[in-house]
Every structure is written in C-alpha cells, then in structure tokens.
Amino acid sequence: MSVDVHANGLRSALSAGTAYWGLVFILGFVMGTVRTMFVADAPGGGRILGVLLELPIMLTASWFLCSFAIRRFHVPTTLGARALMGGLAFALLLLAELVVGTLLFGRSASEHFALYQEASYAVGLAAQIGFALMPSVQLWRRRVS
C-alpha cells in the first residue's frame, strides 16, 4: 500500500510540475511578446526596465498558478514532492526557452546561455529560480501558518 501512495505522490508531483510549467510558460510567452513589442527598445535600458515591470506580474501569477496545480493534482505535503514539482517545472522552462531561442531567434545553445551574462537575462533567471522554489515555499508557508 505504501508503494501505491508513493507512486501516486510521484505521479501527482510530476503532473503538477508539468501543468505549472505549461501555465506559466504560456503567460510568460505572452508577457514577453508584449514586453518586447512595447518596452524592450525604449531608450535608456528598455530591456531591463521591461523585465523589471514584468517580473512582479509573473511572480504573482506563478504563486497562484502553483497553488492551483498543487490543489488540482493533490501534491503531497512533503518537501520531496514539492521540490520535484518545482525542479521539473524549472527544467522544462529552461528547456523551452532554449528551444524558443534556437527555433524562433536562430541562436545556438552557447549564444543562448551567453545571454545570461546580460542584466535583464540574469534578473529573469533569478525570477525563474523563485518560480522553481514556489512549491516548496508554499509548503513551508503552510506549515508556519
């Protein structure tokens, strides 16, 4: 019986991580497109400004989408399940960004990873790490309350 419970917890964490990633990726793709069209080319550091404007919206939305995925897929209240959910979502997000950069913008993988040296991409990566930690933070927050 404990194997079934463990397998169900693993399955729910993987399903939730995939859903969490997909929902946030779609929102991020839309927000990134809007940011690029309207703010990125503004004089005086438009790219970093655009990221800084987008970041609180994305992190707030990620918080609620994370909570939704946890409830929807009944992710266990264990650090392992929550870390798996966030880790999978983060890995899928990095992979999706690499694929988009390669296919839509014609960048090589090394060109893509070199972008993280720019301030706007480094800030975005820091926010993505926050995105990955949200399932675990929500577990900690639940235990503290």
Mean pLDDT of 86-90: 98
Q: Whole-prediction pTM value?
A: 0.88
Q: Write the CB contacts of 138 (distance below 8 Å, at least 6 apart in sequence).
A: 63, 66, 67, 70, 82
Exposed e or buried b per residue across 61-88, where buried means at least 16 C-beta atoms within 10 angstroms of its C-beta? bbeebbeebbeebebbeeeebbbbbbbb
As a whole number, mean pLDDT of residues 125-140 equals 95
Average confidence (pLDDT) over 102-122: 93
Where exactly are the structural domains of the chain?
2-144
pLDDT at 68 exceeding the cut of 90: yes
